[in-house]
A and B are shown apart, each in its own frame.
Chain A
């Protein structure tokens, strides 16, 4: 066992020596260790500590990767997250994204909004076309976020930030949110937060 590992290490060393330009793209910490850092705010069991912090357990892998990448590049601004990702590299982001995407989305049981608020939300959804990208149950896919059952306050803050440009890492979303009346954002957040994805393991 040991000798096999040693041979493997030697083989890897050989490869690195042969291709010195291959980046060493993984930080020293394991994905589990890195994930522990995340748990401080995003929750040990997937339920975030604060209502303004997003659920990341069960979020779509591509979306999580892009956000981590953007925190590192500064395209998405957050003092807290920038500090967290400062020492991490692309391979760490991919590993973390795969790790959290594989965990079970926590059901928070957020209440449905009043009927008139739901109606306002559905009107906006029909007009802007949210389900074109976020899909029919707002489950998202790939680099597009799952919205169904996300924290209501986080959704409200995020849509507002897209609208006022303070979240600048998706101008398409900013454009769409600028096309929405400010008074419709809260009903939209409450409606999306109240949804559950029907069926499956989530």
Chain B
């Protein structure tokens, strides 16, 4: 995963921002210490495993980052629907202290909402009124090493605790009612390039989390911690000691990747397996299959991003879907989308578990993932094997042109395609909804030794000044791979999608527009101007028989979209 800016227009906006804006994050002297003044405790009910397991049919709460263990981001309520969404209005707007990149997925437990900000603040809010119960400010250590913005994508909930992870690579448990610290565990050493921006997941008494650091030469991992104590339960290295693989010459879509296998084999003989510094971060939550007792997640890019010369082999399990046993963390199966990636077109959008048609038309348990390549990949859940790849959702130009010292232009750029943005699905329509970027880049390669925790891109990927950039919302039939509809947006898209039983699709844009689309046709049915980039995934819930849709509008560091600090909840008049 990586970050890269947008265009001159953004730069001009930056100038305006510098001159006139409200306070930026660090300039406000964000106080990194504990909870503020005493307020009424948040009346959050205890979250049971049963509640988490059945979240998919619970229209009152939103208990998982991606709605349910299957990560469908499908909300079962239909009070807000295609016939009345035009009457959707803000119920409340909450302004947080931190005005910086906002990627949080609001979590709603009973009538309490939990949201997080850049630099790792957590708020508990009254989901009906937007009033604050508590505000926790993580005491950040002096060493943080992270790319792509000081983001935090939200909390996990279990029992009477909320869990989140921090830029200085700590996993933190708070009292759900008071916001007081229960425990804090150091996941890894931030001086070596480890950081956390993903939301954890909670299941069967465990808190699951991966790590960032694929831009810093880490050795990636995925882990389970004990929810009560913070002690490590198991660890899975996302890069095995034998990372070489099968010397694949083509990617999953069958395109030749122009690998010099002979040169790679010679390098392997000379320097050995590069697994210790091969990257393989995990940016987003796993999907959980409680029947198979497995988790499915995707692993990010190899380090260094663009220079493959010092990392011979397929670089397993980077750019891959990986399944593990939930109890033990033992490997079950994997599927590599892009062997030996030198474009940072890695796997970051969270995988989704749904039934799909296999090649013979038989319904089988599937895994659906959207890549930075612009494809939706449909895999089998039993052995991780591929079933089909969708029509490409974005233009591919000079696809798999190797980076050069002077720079080679290619589409997609290093942000995708589909970035970390989660998809949503509507299983009645057999559609998965993805948001994409069209952002041509120049890929330049440079060779440098492992820099011990410093930025290690192996070159540079540059947005090309003067070239047009835009985005799209795409609806893809996962049983056929065909694009059902596509709506172009004026700017590249990053944030995420919510689909509802009201046959709606909600997603936001960098220019501040938050929109509802007809799930079947893609027609825009409602729009709201939020005043800052809507670059966060929406959630939905219901209180006293009234449904709400909620989203963060805070812009984005990675592609420099207009910053803000709002959580906005909408309901019908």
Contact = CB atoms under 8 A, between A and B. Distances in A.
Nearest to B7: A126
B21 A198 contact: yes
Given A66-B191, A143-B143, A202-B29, 13 more contacts: A122-B11, A126-B560, A131-B5, A132-B558, A139-B24, A141-B144, A142-B143, A142-B168, A170-B451, A174-B446, A179-B459, A198-B23, A199-B22
Contact of A137 (B18, B143, B457): B18
22 contacts: A123-B8, A126-B5, A126-B7, A127-B463, A127-B464, A131-B14, A132-B149, A136-B560, A137-B18, A141-B119, A142-B145, A143-B143, A171-B456, A172-B215, A172-B451, A173-B455, A174-B446, A175-B460, A179-B462, A198-B19, A198-B23, A200-B29
Nearest 8 pairs between A and B by C-beta? A172-B455, A142-B144, A171-B448, A199-B23, A179-B460, A122-B11, A200-B27, A129-B5
B116 interface: no
A142 B146 contact: yes
Contact of B454 (A97, A135, A137, A172): A172
A123 B150 CA distance: 23
Contact of B457 (A62, A139, A175, A198): A175
A132 B451 contact: no
Interface in B519-559: 557-558
Contact of A197 (B4, B24, B442): B24
Contact of B460 (A122, A178, A195, A201): A178
A100 to B, nearest CB: 12
Interface in A53-77: 61-62, 65-66, 75
B188 to A, nearest CB: 15
Given A101-B142, A174-B448, A175-B458, A131 B557 contact: yes
Nearest to B414: A129
A108 interface: no
A199 B142 contact: no
Contacts of A65: 142-143
A121 to B, nearest CB: 9
A162 to B, nearest CB: 11
Nearest to B168: A142
Main secondary structure of the interface of A (DSSP, over half): helix
A131 B560 contact: yes
B27 A197 contact: yes
Nearest to A133: B147
Interface residues of B, number: 63
Contact of A123 (B11, B100, B148, B560): B11
B464 A62 contact: no
Nearest to B29: A200
Nearest to B464: A127
Contact of B446 (A129, A143, A175): A175
Contacts of B407: 179
Interface in B418-456: 442, 444, 446, 448-449, 451-452, 454-456
A53 B24 CA distance: 27
Interface string B19-59: 10111111111000000000000000000000000000000
B449 A139 contact: no
B527 to A, nearest CB: 26
Q: Which of A94, A97, A200 has the most CB of B within 10 A?
A: A200
Interface in A10-52: none
Contact of B11 (A61, A126, A132, A133): A126
Contacts of A173: 455
Nearest to B563: A136
A126 to B, nearest CB: 4
A98 B451 CA distance: 24
A132 B11 CA distance: 13
A6 to B, nearest CB: 33
Interface string A167-202: 001111111101100000000000000010111111
Given A122-B11, A126-B465, A171-B449, A135 B150 contact: yes
Contacts of B12: 122
